Structure 1
Amino acid sequence: MTLESPASPLIFGGAAQSPRAALPVLPPLALYIHIPWCVRKCPYCDFNSHTASPVLPEEEYVDALLADLDQDLHAVYGRELSSIFFGGGTPSLFSAEALGRLLKGVEQRIPFAADIEITLEANPGTFEQEKFVAYRKLGINRLSIGIQSFQEEKLKALGRIHNGDEAVRAAGMARQAGFDNFNLDLMHGLPDQSLDDALGDLRQAIALKPTHLSWYQLTLEPNTVFWNQPPTLPEDDTLWDIQEAGQALLAEHGYAQYEVSAYAQPGRAARHNLNYWSFGDFIGIGAGAHGKLSHPDGRIVRTWKTRLPKDYLNPAKNFQAGENALTNAELPFEFLMNALRLTEGVESRLYPQRTGLTLESLAESRREAEQSGLLQVEPSRLAATERGQLFLNDLLQKFLT
């Protein structure tokens, strides 16, 4: 799909907008690699994950990932990768040998930045000290460990394969393997969870001294077991108490909130995610992976890959399932739904740099959002107020055409 210049100016945000300009500077480039297999599918999970067979098709899947990447290379020629993120599923089910061959193949195709961040998602039930030492030697320099809770009854309710002791040991093993930069994934608002339960989980996570914490509320998503058989979740007043007390506890221990559900020690914000939220570019390879690439002529294209692993591995089928070139009318919302998740927002100048559109095109919608108390009155930044962060959907509605 290609984007054609409109024959007449488009109207959005109350201002006439000419066809967007070519992008003088392309955003940083990242790579997302999706490994779609898990030991077991969790009842709350709506990600593209599938229960693993006893023997994973590692060799075939790595071959397919590199062939998939080859088809995207024409769009990123001359650029370098600032970050790589292995997501899933459970990428740590793959051997170090398979991931090593994959990383070598990627680097042969796209140069790595000298300070590249390479993150691997892992679950405590898949931790083996020798394997994680080998991962670190490959150049993987950041882990994201899916803890969710340390409490046995909560882990059982969530369908997790690990227990609390394994979760604690996983963090220690990560550090022993040479990972001085790691995230713990933790959920709150769990079935029948009290304020004390939630803060107990958070205190245990903080005691393990991760550099980064992803702390977010369980939500019931369509096409999940929990959606069809909903558990009893805490009432709204309890959820609000958990959120307030948890944020205060994190701040007290030096974890600054920089995104709706992300907290980090100084200098340890996830660069891959910061690039995503600031409307950077990323190639997506693997079953069901999504990508977003900017082109010098101003086109910005979102892509998505074939979802089912069996189809992705089928040579008769295309890796790419579809693409969408963003229109001028879509860009304000697309940009801001990411940027406004950041607690400090972004510099205003990033909007024309990343979209090719003028700041003036946002003027009327911006004024309305400011007058509603949802957007900060700050010419040099696009940032939500505290109220805007709480009612982010209401804020974003101001920028829909």
Structure 2
Amino acid sequence: MALVAPPLSLYVHMPWCVKKCPYCDFNSHGLRDTPPPYAEYTGLLLADLDADLADFGAAARGRAIVSVFFGGGTPSLFAPELIARFLDGARARLPFAEDAEITLETNPGTVEHGRFDGYLAAGVNRLSFGIQSFDDDKLKRLGRIHSAAEAEAAVKSAQDAGFANLNLDLMYALPRQELAGALDDVERAIALAPAHISHYQLTLEPNTAFAANPPPLPDDDHAWAMQEACEARLAQAGYAQYEISAYARPGRRCVHNLNYWQFGDYLGIGAGAHGKLSDAAAGTVRRRWKTRHPRNYMEAAGGPARIGGDGAVEAKELPFEYMLNALRLIDGVPLADFAQRTGLPPERIAAPLAEGRRRGWLADDHARLQATTLGQRFLNDVIASFLD
């Protein structure tokens, strides 16, 4: 089967945050006494982009960028002028789609973001707020440095600045959380009328403070009850679930994350950033990731040492990698997309597809790949069935 190059996004990693949260396993680094070299790092991001474009050649050049996502860390520690500098430089190197979605992650604390109107002027057209909860006790248990009042004020400030496309991140199954508390967080988020709400279950990730000293969390049955009740309330308020943890108003699905879940391509720029690129001419899907520590990344200054790993995904691994993303989508994806995005014939997944349908994990629709409600609950098992 012929591999078809999918849409291309750009992920930009900003590795610093004010304080490392105990549940966080992302490549983030709390601030020290000396401020990070934000301006120097911004310049090196562009050097990294130049080097990737030189390495990838025709597989990347000339393809329009459909979305940009500044993740972290806390990207809004970078001043609007630096965000503008990067976006201007990226546009000079790559064509951007006319309606490209450009997201900046931000936290509600006043020390963690610049002026919202400055980010809007820089070209950012979507903000994602890491709120997690509107309960001050739960925020303290999560190690967050903002209050519920600050979260509400920050969202309203962004709206007043002209941002119409906002996402609010919430977590549920928090330490000592009850169903009523999880629903109250959703109610307070709905009251702010964002375009998008992300609703994640708190999990204990390896190499985090919470993993070393686990807090008292609700059991699986209580967590599932929270998920079901919150899903129902979000749907009632007009937020349609389109992915396991994502809910949106009509027309406000996250373009960047949809490209991930549909096994699209993305360049990964910055310390620890991961990228995926399809080379239609060579018939390969390639993954590359950058060295994690900001100091080592910056010392490489756009050179080969900035790369932490690189290589083509083996054919036997592609079905699992594809399903790891696509089956998170509530409506699934056309079966034909599997061949186009992996270059493999559908026969490669015939056996696990048949077994998944027999178990009731996958919809009995031979034109689509879609997890059933039961399959969504046991999604890890469904995805694991596609391992070679």
Which category describes the TM-score, using the shorter chain as reference length? over 0.9
Q: Show the counterpart of 1:315.
A: 300
Query: Hey, what does 1:289 align to over in structure 2?
Result: 273
Give the CA RMSD over aligned residues.
Answer: 1.4
Q: Figure out how many residues of one structure are paired with residues of the other and give that number.
A: 380
**Alignment counterpart, residue 158 of structure 2, candidates 168, 174, 177:** 174
Would the aligned equivalents of 1:129 and 1:177 in 2 still touch at CA under 8 Å?
A: no
What SS does structure 1 have at the residue aligned with 2:163? coil
CA distance in 2, matches of 1:39, 1:279: 32
Indicate if the aligned counterparts of 2:2 and 2:339 stay in contact, CA closer than 8 A: no
2:351 is aligned, of 341, 364, 376, to 364
Q: Contact conserved, 1:127 with 1:170, CA < 8 A, in 2?
A: no
2:300 partner amino acid: P
Q: What do residues 309-358 of structure 1 show as CA deviations (whole Å, max 9, x unaligned)?
A: 00011037611111131111111111111000001110111111111111
Q: CA deviation at 1:168?
A: 0.6
CA distance in 2, matches of 1:154, 1:68: 39
Amino acid at match of 1:185: D
What is the one-letter code of the residue matched to 2:277?
A: L
What residue is the counterpart of 2:39 in the other structure? Answer: 59
Q: How far did 1:127 drift?
A: 6.7
- Separation (CA, whole Å) in 2 of partners of 1:98 and 1:396: 40
In 1, Cα distance between equivalents of 2:379 and 2:204: 19
Larger proportion of helix: 2
Q: Distance in 1 between matches of 2:278 and 2:336?
A: 17
Contact 1:40–1:50 under 8 Å retained in 2:
yes
User: Is residue 314 of structure 2 the alignment partner of residue 335 of structure 1?
Assistant: no
Distance 1:130 1:339 in 2: 35
Which whole-Å CA distance do the structure 1 matches of 2:2 and 2:336 have between them?
15
Which consecutive residues of structure 2, in runs of 5 or more, have no partner in the other structure? none
In 1, the alpha carbon distance for the partners of 2:176 and 2:192 equals: 25
- 1:1-400 map, 5 Å: 21-23=1-3, 25-53=4-32, 54-73=34-53, 74=57, 75-126=59-110, 131-296=115-280, 297-315=282-300, 318-400=305-387
Structure 1, residues 96-137: CA drift from partner, whole Å, max 9, x if none?
A: 111111111111101110000000000000478971101001
The gaps in structure 1 that reach 5 residues or longer are 1-20
SS of residue paired to 1:314: helix
Whether the aligned pair in 2 keeps the contact of 1:306 and 1:321 (CA below 8 Å) is yes
Contact 2:127/2:167, CA 8 A, preserved across alignment: yes
Please give the alpha-carbon distance, in whole angstroms, between the structure 1 residues aligned to 2:374 and 2:114: 47
Aligned partner of 1:50: which letter?
A: H
Answer whether contact 1:346 1:382 (CA < 8 A) is retained.
yes
TM-aligned CA deviation for residue 235 of structure 1: 2.6
The CA deviation string for residues 54-77 of structure 1, in whole angstroms up to 9 with x for no partner, is: 422112101111111011112401
8 Å CA contact 1:93–1:126 kept in 2: the answer is no
* Secondary structure of 1:313 counterpart: helix
Amino acid at match of 1:183: N
Deviates more, 1:99-108 or 1:235-244: 235-244
8 Å CA contact retained: 2:65, 2:94: yes
C-alpha distance 230-137 of structure 1, shift in aligned 2 (>3 A): same
2:106–2:112 Cα contact (<8 Å) kept: no
Q: TM-score normalised to the size of structure 1?
A: 0.92
Q: Deviations over 1:216-264 (max 9, x none)?
A: 1100111111111111111333212211111110110011111111011
Cα distance 1:335–1:130, how it changes in 2: closer, same or farther (>3 A)? closer
Q: Hey, what's the Cα distance between the residues in 2 that align with 1:292 and 1:328? A: 15
TM-score by length of 2: 0.95
SS at match of 2:184: helix
CA distance in structure 2 between the partners assigned to 1:127 and 1:207 by the alignment: 25
**Deviation of the 1:398 alpha carbon:** 2.1
